[in-house]
């Protein structure tokens, strides 16, 4: 059931668990995430970066595919279709294409410009029933060619953006996209606690969910994180399972080259990763 992400995240924040945002790349990804959420009776957010949107030939294709798949699979758990790290223009494209939720990432603008653009987009999104996420302080690492240095958010700036009426807020706390380097210093719980203190009951978002140890995830949830984004980890498990299939020569046996067979181990691997994350985040049975 396609919905915006506000109610599921308000519930998660109040119930001290988090809803996973899993980024999608194609039909297999979408089907794997939707089926796992339904099987585990968990709410879920499908994340679409601008790069992935382009890869799938545009946001309209993505929106039509997700809506049709949600219907034909008989999905009854709450599902939000959310733009991940949207530009100003990207937000308008997704609103037009029928997304139920957007993220405006104005973190690289000066705070005044971030505020001006976020204010406008909150008004437009809410007028049409979409939920909206904003960002303060950047998430480090690289995602789809967008490179962030990764700086911790200023809690006062978080308060300013929260007061604009955004539905959930991503605050940089030392988290980065992709694999964490050996010398990573861990999440800054000092920053997270200060942000949480300033924004009241607003659900907070933790980007860069791949590779964050379970104890840090649990602590982040206890400090107001209600949405956790996972992208790289599904890509790694898909690639690993596909490599094993090919290395075992299974594509050369019988009709093993049939894409429905070739992509099956990767599809199952994504499902397993999504399940593992939902267990850790505590969202199972919360639909």
Question: Contact between 210 and ligand 13P (CB under 6 A)?
Answer: yes
* Binding test (CB under 6 A) with ligand 13P, winner from 82, 93, 207, 227: 207
Footprint of ligand 13P on residues 164-193 (CB under 6 A)?
177-178
Nearer to ligand 13P, 142 or 197 (CB): 142
Would you give the binding string for ligand 13P spanning residues 218-237, x where CB under 6 A is met?
-----------xxxxx----
Query: Whole-angstrom Cα distance, residue 63 to residue 238?
Result: 23
Residue 41 found at the interface with ligand 13P (CB under 6 A): no
- Start-to-end CA distance of the chain, whole Å, equals 11
- 65-32-180 Cα angle (round to 5): 110
Q: Note if 84 is an active site residue.
A: yes
* Cα distance between residue 156 and residue 176, in whole Å: 22
Q: Which of 50, 70, 84, 105 binds ligand 13P (CB under 6 A)?
A: 84
Smallest gap from residue 150 Cβ to ligand 13P (A): 12
Q: Smallest distance from the beta carbon of 246 to ligand 13P, in angstroms?
A: 24
User: If DSSP codes are grouped into helix, strand and coil, which group holds residue 52?
Assistant: helix
Q: Should residue 209 be labelled a site residue for ligand 13P when binding is judged by CB under 6 A?
A: yes
Least gap, CB of 210 to ligand 13P (angstroms): 3
How far is it, in rounded angstroms, from Cα 43 to Cα 285?
9
Task: Note whether 23 binds ligand 13P by CB under 6 A.
Answer: yes
Say how many C-beta atoms besides its own lie within 10 A of residue 189's C-beta. Answer: 16
Q: How far is the CB of 20 from ligand 13P (least distance, A)?
A: 10
SS3 13: helix
Minimum separation from the CB atom of position 85 to ligand 13P (A): 6
If the CB atoms of residues 45 and 223 are measured against ligand 13P, the closer one turns out to be 45
Rounded alpha-carbon distances, angstroms, from residue 121 to 47, 83, 101, 115, 180: 18, 13, 11, 10, 32
- DSSP per residue over 177-244, as a string? SSSPPTT-----HHHHHHHHHHHTTPPEEE---TT--HHHHHHHHHTTEEEEEE-HHHHHHHHHHHHH
Q: Which is nearer to ligand 13P, 207 or 245 (CB)?
A: 207
The binding site for ligand 13P (CB under 6 A) comprises 23, 47, 84-85, 177-178, 207-210, 229-233
User: What residues act catalytically?
Assistant: 84
């Amino acid at each position: 059931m396609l919905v915006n992400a506000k109610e599921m995240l308000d519930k998660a924040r109040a119930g001290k668990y988090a809803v996973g945002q899993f980024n999608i790349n194609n039909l297999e990804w979408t089907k794997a995430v939707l089926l796992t959420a339904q099987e585990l009776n968990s709410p879920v957010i499908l994340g679409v970066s601008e790069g992935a949107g382009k890869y799938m030939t545009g946001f309209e294709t993505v929106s039509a595919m997700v809506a049709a798949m949600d219907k034909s699979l008989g999905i009854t758990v709450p599902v939000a279709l959310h733009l991940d790290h949207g530009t100003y223009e990207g937000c308008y494209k997704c609103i037009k294409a029928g997304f139920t939720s957007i993220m405006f990432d104005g973190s690289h603008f000066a705070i005044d410009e971030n505020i001006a653009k976020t204010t406008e987009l909150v008004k437009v999104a809410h007028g049409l029933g979409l939920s909206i996420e904003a960002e303060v302080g950047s998430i480090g690492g690289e995602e789809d060619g967008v490179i962030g240095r990764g700086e911790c958010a200023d809690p006062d700036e978080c308060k300013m953006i929260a007061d604009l009426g955004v539905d959930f807020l991503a605050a940089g706390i030392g988290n980065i996209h992709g694999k964490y380097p050996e010398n990573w210093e861990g999440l800054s719980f000092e920053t997270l606690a200060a942000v949480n203190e300033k924004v009241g009951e607003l659900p907070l978002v933790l980007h860069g969910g791949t590779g964050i140890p379970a104890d840090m995830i649990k602590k982040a949830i206890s400090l107001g994180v209600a949405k956790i984004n996972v992208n790289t980890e599904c890509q790694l498990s898909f690639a690993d399972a596909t490599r094993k299939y090919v290395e075992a020569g299974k594509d050369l046996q019988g009709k093993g080259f049939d894409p429905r067979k070739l992509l099956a181990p990767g599809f199952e691997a994504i499902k397993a990763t999504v399940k593992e994350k939902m267990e850790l985040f505590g969202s199972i049975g919360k639909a």
